[in-house]
Each structure stands twice: as C-alpha cells, then as structure tokens.
A and B are shown apart, each in its own frame.
Chain A
Amino acid sequence: MTLGVNSLPNGVGVGYKPQHFSDILNAPAPVTWLEIHAENYMGAGGRPLAQLRALSDQFPISVHGVGLSIGSEGRLDPDHLERLKHLNDWLKPASFSEHLAWSTHDMGFYNDLLPLPYTETTLKTVCDHIDEVQDKLGRKMLLENPSSYLAFSESSMDEIAFLREVTTRTGCGLLLDVNNVFVSATNLQMDARAYIDAFPLDKVGEIHLGGHDEDEDDHGAPLLIDSHGREVADPVWALYAHTIAKGGIKPTLIEWDTDVPDWSVLVEEAKRAAAYISPVLV
C-alpha cells in the first residue's frame, strides 16, 4: 500500500537531538511531533534506535534525509536507498522528506547539500530519482527547496517552475523551508515574498524554520548562510506569517542543528511558531 504524502499534525515540531530525550518525554508542550535526520539512525542498534523507538511511541516522527543526493547526475546509491527502506519499514514514520541537492561524487561523499542547475536534463534526472525512492519506500515523499549561495548560468528555468514540474510528474509533495527562501532571496537579490506567492503552496506538506548566519561575499554583497545554529530571524518569522496567511497552516518545524541550546530555548522558539498557528490558544 502506498502511504499518503504525510500524516504529520498541523502543529509545531522540532529537530530531535539526543541531549533533549528526557526533556521531550517530560515536558514536550507545545511540541507535538519530532523530526530526525535519517542518516543518524542507520546504525545496527544501541541507544540511538532504542531512544527513537521510545519517542515514536509518543510522537509522530518525520524522517528527513540529508544523504540521498537526489540532485546528483548519477544513479542513487542502492545501499543507501536500502538503508532508508529499512529505517522506513522499521519506524513507519509520519513523513519522509529529502533535499533538492546533491552530495555524492565519485571522489567520496560531500557532507553538504550542493545546488544543481535547473534544466530539462536535471529535471528528468530528479524525477527519475524521486520515482525510484517512492517506489522503493512505498510512499510519497516531500522535496525541500534548497538554500542558495550562487546561481548557474546554464539554468533554463527558475526554481519554482522546476519544483512545480517535479510534483506534477512524480506526485511528490514539497517541504517549504522559509528560511531557505529568505537566505536564497537575499543572496541572489530576489524578492522572497514573490517567491512564496508563486510557490505551489497546495503541495506543501511541511514548513521548515531555522536560523541563519550573516556574512558578506568578497565584493561586500550580503551573504546569508543557512547554519541552523541560532533563533529564527525576525524577517523570516514575517515571511512565515505571510506564507501561512496565503497557503494555510502546515506542520512547522524548528530546525536547530549546530550549537544546540537547552530544551527550554527550543520550547520558546516552538511557542513563537505555535502563536502563529493557533494564536487563540497561546
């Protein structure tokens, strides 16, 4: 049976970090679901899987892959796809998502999400990869918009046209990272609200919010870096409000992956997101 795109609740989730295990079980509110990075739970056993099982008894879990390299030119790594299937079958998560990016190369594995040009050729490759993933896992997935620091002169279509076509051809949903939109719009000097307005919001099954670092390139132009190491910035909250006003409430994740703070700090961020989702209750 093919599962739907996802069954996450329309509330606030956070990226799970092992140091918060007890806090989450003791005092989760307002967090109602959790997201994990698939690659951190591909070991054979031990505490990571034992804790994940305990959490999955209490919370819907979103599995977010960072290593499948859906945007690479070559074929997907069959071993990695097999590991994902094993995790998916074992955990039966509420959602599975991956990035529109690439990270594998003949020389080894690049532990980052690298961008790709948007052309008819890359569109076909990405769609073939998503079909393969969805067939293998027996479920629909969500594809996340990337954060960009650069553009490709060979691109023949814009990112939204590319993503829209991917959803049409494969039936996958989208994960809209609002921070990525703000980061990319600043770096490439585009209009973030116009991007949101053009985005196929009806296909969005999840929203990501995270912090970014501010830098500048060697010509002094602003360069934002998607670091996930601090609070969500004010203009990103404003863009989030604009997004849900236009597209409706979606399951919303607070991402904080580096310099991870105490649980109480994450709870404050989650409360802020919850206030946008259900202002009456907070």
Chain B
Amino acid sequence: MNPDLDAPKGIVGPDGMPAPKRFSVYRNNIIVSLKEAMNDGFPAVASLVGAAFFAAMSDIYIRQNPPKSPILALYGLDFPKFIAEFEPAASLPYLTDVARLEFALRLAYHCADSTPVEAQAFTNANVLSATLSFAPTVSAIRSDYPITQIRAAALGGPQPTGGAEDVLITRPDLDPIATAFPSGTAAIIDALQAGLPFGEAIEAGPEGLDLPAFIGALISGGAITKLEYDNV
C-alpha cells in the first residue's frame, strides 16, 4: 500500500529484466477499489467537500487505514475520527458527525434481521413498567449540528435549518432511516439499553420532546423486539 516502498525483488517483465513499475498496477488497483468503497459509503461527505477534496482526503485515509478484512461493506469505520483530526477539513466542523451518521446508516443496513413487537404491545396498561429490548439495527447519534438536514441537503434536499439534534437510527424492514429529535433524547435510548423501565427511561429525555412522536418512531422503525414485565 505504501507507494514509497520498493516492489518485491524477483519481479521481472517478459524479457526477464526487472520490472518494478509493473508492480504498481496492483497498488493502483487496490487504491481504486478502496476509493470506490469510500465514495459508496460516504456520499454526503463527498458532496459536502467536493469530489477533488474527497478524493485527496480518502486517499490519505486509505493509506493510513488499509482494510483489515476482505469485507469492504464496513470499510471506513475510522473515517469520522480521521476527519475530526484532518486539519484541512476543520472549517466544516459538522463533517465528522455527518460521516458518523452515514456509517451508522450503513451499519444498520447490514445488521441482522429481527422481528419487532406489534404496535399493540404498547397499549398494555402497564407499559411504563416494561423493560424494552432493541433490534440490533437501532443506534443513536448526538450532534451539535442539524446533521440529518445537512446530509439531506448534501444529497439534493433543501438547505438545513436549526441546530443541535440527537438522531435515532432504525431500520423498518430493509431500509435504514435517521430521525432527528431534540438534544438529550439519546439519553432515553441509553437508559432503556441499561435496563431501566420504560416510564423511568423517558424521564431521562429533554423537556419539549414530542414523546408520542418518539415512541411512534420506535414502533414504526421496528426498533423494539421485546417488552418484558417484572412480575413483582
């Protein structure tokens, strides 16, 4: 991967003469395929910085982070962290979080399938005392920026408005979605995942949260796979 290293010894062309430059075909093929994986994986980041900047940035990332596995579906895991430390991108402070959002959506896309509970389960009179189990597709991202809107704008949507948000990632059936809620909402997910009953967990949320909308997003997103009631 390192273009500064010499090609291995013993490589010859058809005339039997050393041909180190022919080895560069392999190096170039490697870089091209990984750049394609980065473009496929981070289309909004690429759009926000422009093709030339993205090509240069991902080129450096690829050389510093060669894949550890032949499975490229999840290549780019460390790209958000890389962007955060990438000086030339410092003028776009939201870029790291947009990359986190894109990776979280990709991760959810490849997650194991699971069967969500029926919406009816939430009509149980004791639902606030239940503990919830999440589908593996569920995650949350906290950001100081309106990253769902920034991402949408980068992919051709309207210009973003608003500020900080917490993003809920779910996967109703096969296509992941990102839903924005007020900052602090992710604390509910954390509390639920820590095993707190539903009623206590929602207390952890911010004031002004549209609770029915949040619960509706969990239900329609197929986020909950089990409701359990303590028989005490």
Contacts and interface: CB of A to CB of B under 8 A. Distances in A.
Interface of A: 39-40, 42-50, 66-69, 80, 83, 103-104, 107-112, 114, 117, 149-154, 187-190, 217-219, 221, 223, 225, 258
A46 B1 contact: no
B229 interface: no
Contact of B70 (A43, A109, A221): A109
Contacts of A188: 13-14
B25 A117 contact: no
B81 interface: no
Given A108-B66, A111-B30, A44 B10 contact: no
Contact of A109 (B21, B66, B108, B136): B66
Contact of A44 (B1, B23, B110): B110
A211 B40 CA distance: 22
Interface of B: 1, 10-16, 19, 21-23, 25-26, 29-30, 32-34, 36, 66-73, 108-113, 136, 171, 174-175
A142 B112 CA distance: 30
A45 B110 contact: yes
A24 B206 CA distance: 49
A114 B12 CA distance: 14
A112 B113 contact: no
Nearest to B65: A108
A39 B13 contact: no
A199 B149 CA distance: 58
B110 A48 contact: yes
A178 B9 CA distance: 29
B110 A46 contact: yes
A44 B71 contact: no
B66 A150 contact: no
Given A151-B14, A152-B10, A258-B36, A110 B66 contact: yes
30 contacts: A39-B71, A43-B71, A43-B73, A43-B110, A43-B111, A45-B110, A45-B111, A46-B109, A46-B174, A47-B109, A47-B174, A48-B109, A48-B110, A49-B113, A50-B174, A108-B66, A110-B66, A111-B33, A150-B12, A150-B23, A151-B16, A187-B22, A188-B13, A189-B15, A217-B13, A218-B21, A219-B13, A223-B25, A225-B29, A258-B32
A42 to B, nearest CB: 5
A214 to B, nearest CB: 13
B12 A152 contact: yes
Nearest 4 CB-CB pairings of A with B: A67-B70, A43-B110, A44-B112, A108-B66
Nearest to B23: A150
A114 B29 CA distance: 10
B14 A112 contact: no
A30 B162 CA distance: 53
Contacts of B136: 44
A18 to B, nearest CB: 11
Contact of A42 (B14, B15, B32, B73): B73
B70 A39 contact: yes
Given A43-B110, A46-B113, A187-B14, A112 B29 contact: yes
Given A104-B70, A107-B66, 5 more contacts: A110-B26, A110-B66, A149-B25, A217-B21, A258-B36
A45 B107 CA distance: 11
